[in-house]
Amino acid sequence: MTTEMPAPSFVHPIEEEFARVLDYYGIRWEYEPHTFELQWDDEGKVTQAFSPDFYLPDQDLYVELTTARPKLVTIKNRKIRRMAELYPDVNVQLWKRSDLRNLMIRFGMDDRASGIMGTAAQK
């Protein structure tokens, strides 16, 4: 992200942590820059869309973060599969709680990583 732009209003604290890691390593990113239409009604109105959390332009990669319970991740997985059908040239990855935790530990953010693990009911 360039320094001229104001910081986005992140929906979830983990998005802000992820942005910090990207900034620290000089990885350019954009926050929710695109919305992809996934489903339409009979009149052509959009009934389902998906806005991945981050776009990494140098990697041409969209990243969707989730700390939701595994059962709720199913919904995001469906959207990503639908994106693959409709937009086969768009590279998008879903990073789950464990992926985020491992990334943070790898980059020396152990103290913050423990805070994203959630409750036992969410695991």
Mean pLDDT across the stretch 81-86? 97
Contact 53, 31 (CB under 8 A): yes
Q: pTM of this prediction?
A: 0.79
pLDDT at 112: 63
Q: How far is CA 6 from the centre of its chain?
A: 20
Quote the mean pLDDT of the chain. 84
- pLDDT band for position 120 (50/70/90)? very low
Contact 47, 41 (CB under 8 A): yes
Residue carrying structure tokens 């890691």:
21
Mean pLDDT across the stretch 40-61? 97
Backbone angles phi, psi at 88, to 5 degrees: -65, -20
pLDDT at 69: 74
Mean pLDDT across the stretch 93-104? 82
Mean pLDDT across the stretch 11-39? 92
Lookup: tokens for 123: 């695991």
pLDDT at 5: 63
7: exposed, middle or buried (Cβ count in 10 Å: 0-12, 13-18, 19+): exposed
Mean pLDDT across the stretch 65-82? 85
Distances (CA, A) of 5 to 21, 29, 30, 35: 18, 12, 10, 20
- pLDDT band for position 121 (50/70/90)? very low
